[in-house]
C-alpha cells in the first residue's frame, strides 16, 4: 500500500545470520511487511526460507562464513544478481565468547571482533557503495540496521570482546549515519535485551543468572526473536526516513530499571 509508511513491498532486504534466532525473526517480519529477502548464513537457512515464502515473498540463500571479510564482495554480488539491488541491510551475524577477563585469550578476542565489528563495517561499506548508485536524500533511501546490544551501553561480565565489539557497533552506527545520511542512506541500530536464542543458552541454563535477569526485566520474561521484528521493520521503512544514528533498545524495560 503506497500510503502505508511501513510497507516494504518491492524492497530487497539482506539479513546476515538469518538461519535462526534474532536473524530469523527479523527476516520473517520484513517479509510480512512486503520485502524479498537475501538470507546470509554460515549454515543452511532453509527453515527461514520456508517462513519467508509462506509470507508470500521470495528468498535467495547465500552460504557464507562471515568470520572474515573474504566473502563480503561475493555476497553483495550474489544479492545484486538475485534481486538487482539491496535496499535494506540488517547486520545481525554475531558470536560471543565467555571467560573471565583475567583469563580471556587473544584468539577469542580476535574471533569476536572480526565477526561482530570488522565484517559488519566492511559489509556495510560494500552495500552502501551499491546504494549510492540509486539512493537519494529526499526520495527512495537505503537502510542499514545494525544489531547492537545491552552491552553497547553497559559493561557486562565475562564477555570482554563482545562488550568491546558491541560498543564499537554503537559508535560505527553514528559514524556511518554522519557520513551517509546526505547520500540517501539511513544507518541505525537495534539493541536487543535478553532474547532467548542460541547465543544466550548458557545464561538461560544458569539457574541463578536466569533468575537475576528475569527479576530485573520489568516485562518479567526473556524476549523472543519475533519481538525484534517490529523495530527492524520500522527502521527499514519510510516511517524512519528522518531517523539517523539512533540505537533503539528493545529490552522489555531493562535499561529503564
Active site residues: 162
What is the rounded CA–CA span in Å between residue 104 and residue 237? 40
Q: Which three cell numbers stand for residue 84?
A: 538487482
Other CB atoms within 10 Å distance of the CB of residue 75: 21
Q: Which helix (H) or strand (E) holds 210?
A: helix 207-216
Smallest Cα–Cα separation from 246: which of 180, 191, 204, 185?
191
How long a stretch of residues is the chain? 257
How far is the C-alpha of 86 from the C-alpha of 83, rounded, in Å? 7
Cβ(110)–Cβ(40) under 8 Å? no
Rounded Cα distance between 173 and 8, Å, is: 22
Main-chain dihedrals φ then ψ at residue 224, nearest 5 degrees: -110, 145
Q: Please choose, from the candidates 32, 72, 24, 15, the residue with its C-alpha nearest in 3D space to the C-alpha of residue 48.
A: 24
39 and 216 Cβ atoms separated by less than 8 Å: no
b/e burial code for range 50-70 (CB count within 10 A of at least 16 → b): ebbeebebebbbbebebbeee
Amino acid at each position: 500500500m503506497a500510503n502505508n509508511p511501513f510497507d516494504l513491498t518491492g524492497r530487497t532486504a539482506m539479513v546476515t545470520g538469518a538461519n535462526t534466532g534474532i536473524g530469523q525473526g527479523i527476516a520473517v517480519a520484513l517479509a510480512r511487511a512486503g520485502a524479498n529477502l537475501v538470507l546470509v548464513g554460515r549454515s543452511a537457512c532453509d527453515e527461514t526460507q520456508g517462513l519467508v515464502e509462506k509470507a508470500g515473498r521470495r528468498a535467495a540463500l547465500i552460504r557464507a562464513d562471515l568470520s572474515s571479510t573474504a566473502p563480503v564482495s561475493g555476497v553483495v554480488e550474489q544479492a545484486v544478481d538475485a534481486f538487482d539491488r539491496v535496499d535494506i541491510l540488517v547486520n545481525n551475524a554475531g558470536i560471543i565468547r565467555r571467560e573471565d577477563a583475567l583469563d580471556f585469550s587473544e584468539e577469542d578476542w580476535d574471533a569476536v571482533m572480526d565477526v561482530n565489528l570488522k565484517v559488519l563495517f566492511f559489509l556495510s561499506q560494500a552495500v552502501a557503495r551499491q546504494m549510492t548508485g540509486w539512493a537519494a536524500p529526499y526520495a527512495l533511501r537505503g537502510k542499514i540496521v545494525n544489531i547492537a546490544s545491552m552491552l553497547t551501553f553497559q559493561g557486562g561480565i565475562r564477555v570482554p570482546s563482545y562488550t568491546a565489539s558491541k560498543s564499537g557497533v554503537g559508535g560505527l552506527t553514528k559514524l556511518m549515519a554522519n557520513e551517509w545520511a546526505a547520500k540517501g542512506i539511513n544507518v541505525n541500530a537495534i539493541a536487543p535485551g535478553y532474547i532467548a536464542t542460541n547465543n544466550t543458552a548458557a545464561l538461560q541454563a544458569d539457574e541463578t543468572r536466569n533468575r537475576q535477569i528475569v527479576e530485573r526485566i520489568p516485562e518479567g520474561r526473556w524476549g523472543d526473536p519475533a519481538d525484534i521484528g517490529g523495530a527492524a521493520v520500522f527502521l527499514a521503512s519510510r516511517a524512519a526516513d528522518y531517523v539517523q544514528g539512533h540505537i533503539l533498545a528493545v529490552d522489555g524495560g531493562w535499561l529503564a530499571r
